[in-house]
Copies of this chain bind each other. A is one copy, B any other.
Amino acid sequence: MIITMYDLAGAEADRRFSPFCWRARMALAHKGLAVETVPWGFTEKDKLPQPNAGRVPVIVDNGTVVNDSTAIADWLEQHYADKPTLFGGGTGRALSRFVQNWTETVLQPGIIPLVVLDIHRHSRPQDQEYFRRSREERFGRTLEEVVRDREARLPAFRASLDPLRRTVERQDFLSGEAPAYADYIVFGAFQWARAISDFELLAADDPVRAWRRRMLDLHGGLARSTPAYGN
């Protein structure tokens, strides 16, 4: 039975840009599971299956609704234990949490003030007002002001990637010789940026960029299937 996944979409229904949805999408592909995605907008809270938390990703797997990318990864690992592993066991799962927490406290907060105006630009017209109002409240500034000096902030952002850079210059993937869920967590953040912004986060010779290319190649080039910028 095909799994259904509710997936954040931009003004074009095939532009998928949620970092959390990309984690789930890549995890489903890693497990080799067929999925049908439903494009969803920020303001369509009533269109999600119950129960939900008003956010995506949400999957429906054989009648069971699972919310939240972390819960989805755990669900897939448990229910499709015979398929390639996402964690490589308990230690790998625990350490993936550290990678997740680094992604959510360093990487994603570092990306958003560089690209937040681009997210607005690519959102569905009916979502733009909601997006602008909620994000400007959070920042206490207009979106234009948030991104204004982004060129000047780029070196500090790139320096913040050192733990990732040093890892993927010595091994192909965060998870070792082959990718696993920790890679999808980090990749989701970069995929989010490239799906909505032409502002290149990574220098041409950055080992992180080479890793991102390896990630884009995975699962038949799945992450290249969404409209996006750059490589």
Tell me the nearest residue of chain B to A88, going by C-beta: B91
**In the complex, A87→B176 CA distance in Å?**
12
- For the complex, is A98 an interface residue (Cβ under 8 Å from B)? yes
- For the complex, is A171 an interface residue (Cβ under 8 Å from B)? yes
- The interface stretch among A46-54, A139-147, A158-166 is A158-166
- Chain B residues with CB below 8 A from A117, complex form: none
Please determine whether A91 and B180 come into contact, CB atoms closer than 8 angstroms: yes
Please determine whether B93 and A163 come into contact, CB atoms closer than 8 angstroms: no
- Chain B residues with CB below 8 A from A162, complex form: 101, 105-106
CB distance from A103 to the nearest CB of B (A): 8
- Chain B residues with CB below 8 A from A176, complex form: 90-91, 93-94
- Chain B residues with CB below 8 A from A167, complex form: 97-98, 101
- For the complex, is A191 an interface residue (Cβ under 8 Å from B)? no
Binary interface profile of A, 172-190, with partner B (CB < 8 Å = 1, else 0)? 0111110010100000000
CB distance from A18 to the nearest CB of B (A): 21
Grouping DSSP codes into helix (H, G, I), strand (E, B) and loop, the A interface class, with mixed when no group exceeds half, is helix
- For the complex, is A39 an interface residue (Cβ under 8 Å from B)? no
Please determine whether B90 and A90 come into contact, CB atoms closer than 8 angstroms: no
- Chain B residues with CB below 8 A from A87, complex form: 91
Residues in A106-126 with C-beta less than 8 Å from chain B: 106
CB distance from A14 to the nearest CB of B (A): 32
Can you show 19 pairs from A to B with CB atoms below 8 A apart? Answer: A88-B91, A89-B89, A90-B177, A91-B92, A91-B95, A91-B175, A91-B182, A94-B176, A94-B177, A97-B171, A98-B98, A98-B163, A98-B174, A101-B163, A101-B164, A101-B167, A102-B102, A102-B163, A106-B163
Given contacts A91-B176, A101-B163, 13 further A-B contacts (CB under 8 A): A87-B91, A88-B89, A89-B89, A89-B91, A91-B91, A91-B182, A93-B176, A94-B177, A95-B96, A95-B174, A97-B171, A101-B164, A105-B162
